[in-house]
């Protein structure tokens, strides 16, 4: 019998809809997944199903290699990186890929998000986002190269495409995407005013924030 988790399906739908409401994905872009706790099965969003119409029954179950085992649709074409993330990081319970505009703007200009906002420092343990090269997504080579770039970070930018964040659960993975997009937006706006170099969070304050995040368990693998 294939395991299932209806409340986790609902969580995935809710997170995907929130991402669309926040302008981090449009229509059916991006993809969202969660590992069914204690199993080698993953629930993922379907390929090409608009979030506005999506319900828990549209979520697809795949195995750890990304092969569909249950569902009425085909799983996302970017499932290879989700399942490879679960195989690589046993502590990861959720993965979120969004195509958020401010992150994309900064990284196409070869800028990176600095530690300009507290939430970004907390949720990425002060390490920020890793950067992967601009590649065609949706195959195992892309997944491998991107996860090698991610290393011990909690999120990675796919250049000219979007970002991918992991977490102990899908909500933490999504919180990370939100924190990164918000920091990218603030940095972009601060630069756009052209009134001077934006102040960043002082190093000693960053260190306090990272210690707090470690204590809370946001900034470490568990
Ligand atoms: Zn994408």
12 within some domain: yes
- pLDDT, tens digit, 9 for 90 and up, residues 139-148: 889 999 999 9
* Residue 221's pLDDT band (cuts 50, 70, 90): low
222 within some domain: no
Percentage of the chain lying above the pLDDT 90 cut: 91
Separation of alpha carbons 202 and 186, rounded Å? 17
- pLDDT, tens digit, 9 for 90 and up, residues 17-28: 999 999 999 998
Q: In total, how many domains does the chain have?
A: 1
181 within some domain: yes
221 within some domain: no
pLDDT at 53 (0 to 100): 87
- The alpha carbon dihedral of 77, 4, 123, 220 has a sign of negative
CA of 209 to the centre of ligand 1 (A): 31
150 within some domain: yes
pLDDT higher than threshold 50 for residue 222 = no
pTM of the model: 0.96
CA of 165 to the centre of ligand 1 (A): 12
CA of 31 to the centre of ligand 1 (A): 7
- pLDDT, tens digit, 9 for 90 and up, residues 102-138: 999 999 999 999 999 999 999 999 999 999 999 998 8
CA of 127 to the centre of ligand 1 (A): 23
pLDDT at 138 (0 to 100): 83
186 within some domain: yes
CATH number, residue 153: 3.40.225.10
CA of 1 to the centre of ligand 1 (A): 31
19 within some domain: yes
CA of 97 to the centre of ligand 1 (A): 7
Tell the residue number behind the tokens 């102990």, with chain if given.
168
Q: For the sheet containing 60-63, what is the strand order? A: 68-70, 60-63, 41-44, 31-35, 94-98, 162-167, 155-158, 130-132
pLDDT at 216 (0 to 100): 87
- pLDDT, tens digit, 9 for 90 and up, residues 68-94: 999 999 999 999 999 999 999 999 999
- pLDDT, tens digit, 9 for 90 and up, residues 179-220: 999 999 999 999 999 999 999 999 999 999 999 998 988 766
69 within some domain: yes
Domain of 73, in residue numbers: 6-216
CA of 29 to the centre of ligand 1 (A): 6
């Amino acid at each position: 019998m294939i395991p299932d988790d209806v409340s986790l399906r609902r969580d995935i739908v809710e997170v995907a809809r929130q991402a669309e409401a926040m302008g981090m994905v449009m229509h059916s872009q991006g993809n969202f997944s969660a590992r069914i706790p204690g199993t080698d099965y993953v629930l993922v969003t379907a390929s090409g199903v608009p979030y506005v119409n999506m319900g828990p029954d549209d979520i697809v179950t795949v195995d750890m290699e990304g092969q569909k085992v249950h569902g009425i649709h085909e799983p996302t074409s970017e499932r290879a990186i989700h399942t490879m993330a679960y195989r690589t990081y046993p502590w990861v319970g959720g993965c979120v890929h969004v195509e958020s505009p401010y992150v994309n703007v900064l990284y196409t200009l070869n800028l990176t998000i600095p530690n300009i906002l507290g939430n970004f420092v907390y949720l990425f343990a002060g390490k920020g986002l890793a950067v992967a090269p601009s590649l065609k997504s949706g195959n195992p080579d892309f997944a491998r190269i991107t996860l090698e770039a991610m290393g011990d970070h909690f999120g990675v930018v796919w250049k000219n495409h979007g970002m991918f964040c992991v977490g102990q659960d899908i909500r933490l993975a999504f919180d990370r995407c939100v924190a990164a997009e918000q920091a990218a937006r603030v940095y972009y706006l601060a630069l756009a005013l052209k009134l001077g170099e934006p102040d960043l969070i002082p190093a000693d304050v960053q260190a306090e924030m990272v210690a707090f995040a470690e204590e809370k368990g946001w900034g470490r693998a568990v």
